[in-house]
Amino acid sequence: MTRNVPVSIWRRAAVRVDRCLTELRRGRAVRITDPAGGIVAAAVETLGEELLQRLGTPGTRLALAVTEERARALGIAADARGIVLPLGERVGLEAIARFVGVIESASAPAGLAAAAAGAAALAVAAALELARRARLLPAVVFARDARADDADELLAVEAADVEAVAQALEASIVRVSDARVPLAGHEDCRLVLFREAPGDLEHVAVVVGRPDASAPVLVRVHSACLTGDLLGSLRCDCGDQLRGAVDRLAVAGGVLLYLAHEGRGIGLANKLRAYGLQDGGLDTLDADRHLGFRADERDFRAAAAMLRSLGIARIRLLTNNPDKIETLREGGIDVVERVPLVVPPNVHNERYLQTKRERAGHLTGEQDVPAGG
């Protein structure tokens, strides 16, 4: 059992979810069922005119679903499962794309914003979650009574499958391979690759030196940041934190968990969209919400599963983020100490760092969280 989901059920659900993620990324529709019936849905970001026309054949009731975050950004009341807006025959693909943020627009098309809206049913909420897991903008066009010619041939998944996979993330973390990889200045290093399924995320554990697992091991849980880690972007502090963490780990040994959580889990394409919104005045959290995402889409349960696979149960955690501490403790890892990791700001990331402290609850070097428990 994993989070009350039997492993056998989770494995079958994971296969169906994985196939549906691929279909949505490729611009194809999927069928999602729930106790009330089912829908045929496609992600707006990859939706083409041909598929839109097939979904909207005469006799169908075509609708658009967006998350609570996107609805509220557009001034529309919504609950946690998102909101549904009926699509009239004259609403085209460009208007839909502007409404959900695929094409950035100063205001939403009036015809959609003024439409009667309703709460998303289970199947619709599952479709939004699938789009989010595919790292697409979380917005879908769907029909409950679709008569597309190939509707019966579509890949199908139950809304309950999507929920089961979300609950049992730990079961999806598989240790795949490892090798000795000397790093510049820290030659005694080993990389261990973990794969997350469904989906295509790959996480890496960098074991620096020879940490003693019988004592609390110094650990850094670091979310991948192409712009900061590789390109040296000044918009964030990620690159400086990564290099500072490796230097700290090299002193007495430790582990860097490098997680494929680009843009706090929204992916590189959406992170760049969010950067555009930040240039227009939004802070980093509001920019993500404007696109329909939660303030933080990362799931640090993967880190707990990786540590268990490495035989590490007690750690000293290099972090300023209390969410990492809480999730690791919930995953059975004993975080005995928080070790602050603070880097100097620059003129380009001062506002970003201030937002993390004041709105996301990140800690400074002087603050701490309760030990143990």
For residue 219, the cross-strand partners are 255, 317
Q: What SS3 string covers 209-277?
A: CCCCCCCCEEEEEEECCHHHHHCCCCCCCHHHHHHHHHHHHHHHCEEEEEECCHHHHCCHHHHHHHHHH
| Residue from 264, 298, 301, 338 carrying the catalytic annotation | 298
Q: Structural domains in the chain?
A: 7-166 (3.90.870.10), 170-261+298-358 (3.40.50.10990)
pLDDT value at residue 23: 96
- The span from the CA of 178 to the CA of 203, in Å, is 12
Based on the residue annotation, tell me whether 308 is a catalytic residue of this protein: no
Q: Which of 18, 178, 283, 296 is catalytic?
A: 296
User: Which DSSP letter does residue 171 get?
Assistant: G
What pLDDT sits at residue 358?
55
Count of other CB atoms within 10 angstroms of residue 351: 14
pLDDT at site 104: 74
Residue 145, pLDDT score? 63
The predicted pLDDT at position 133 comes to 92
Cα–Cα distance measured from residue 32 to residue 37, given in angstroms and rounded to the nearest whole number: 9
Structure-token pair, residue 366: 């002087």
Q: Which two tokens stand for residue 104?
A: 């950035």
Name the nearest CA neighbour of 260 among 326, 219, 204, 331. 204
Whether the CB-CB separation of 51 and 96 falls below 8 Å is answered with no
Q: Residue type at 246?
A: V
- Give the C-alpha separation, 346 to 235, whole Å: 9
- State the Cα–Cα distance between residues 242 and 221, nearest whole angstrom: 10
Mean pLDDT in order along the chain per 10 residues (373 residues): 61 90 96 90 96 83 93 88 85 89 66 59 94 95 69 85 83 90 88 88 95 94 96 93 92 94 95 94 92 93 95 95 92 94 80 67 58 47
The 3-class secondary structure across 15-76, one letter per residue, is: HHHHHHHHHHHCCCCEEEEECCEEEEEEEHHHCCHHHHHHHCCCCCCEEEEECHHHHHHCCC
Q: pLDDT digit string (tens) for 93-147?
A: 998 999 998 887 645 555 565 455 666 789 999 999 999 999 999 999 999 865 5
Is-contact 47 172, C-beta < 8 A?
Answer: no
Residue 324 CB contacts under 8 Å (≥ 6 apart), including other chains = 221, 300, 303, 317
Is 240 labeled as catalytic in the residue annotation?
Answer: no
Residue 78's pLDDT is 86
